[in-house]
Amino acid sequence: MSHKSAIDNLLSLCTEYMNTDTTDGEKLNTLLRDISGILFYLETVRSDYHNKWSQFVTLKIEQKISVARAQVEADVKYPELYELRRTMDGAYNVVNAIRSNLSYLKSEIHNAR
């Protein structure tokens, strides 16, 4: 799986969450599992891009380029890092929302007994 297809799948699942009935515990649990799995995979991808970004910055600094300029050049060379960071941060917020929904459902079931 490429990281682009993983991001597309992640965005699709997050959109699916927005359209899911928040009382559908089974569907929420499935979404939580699927989104968490993709995030795990993307963490490895993000780590690889971060390593490349850091190596590039280090190389530029060794070439007597300022740290700020080296970082800007690295950002241009590796735009995937920004895309991954922003997309994944949003998906982690969705994961937290799903967990909150599931926790609420669990407490409602417990209180109904």
Domain residue ranges of the chain, discontinuous segments joined by +: 3-112
Give 13's contacts (C-beta < 8 A, 6+ positions apart). 31, 34, 35, 38
Would you place residue 110 in the very low, low, confident or very high pLDDT band (cuts 50, 70, 90)?
low
Residue 112 has pLDDT above 90, yes or no: no
Residue 108 has pLDDT above 80, yes or no: no
Would you place residue 92 in the very low, low, confident or very high pLDDT band (cuts 50, 70, 90)?
very high
* Cβ atoms < 10 Å from Cβ of 1: 10
Residue-wise pLDDT for 8-47, tens only, equals: 999 999 999 999 998 899 999 999 999 999 999 999 999 9
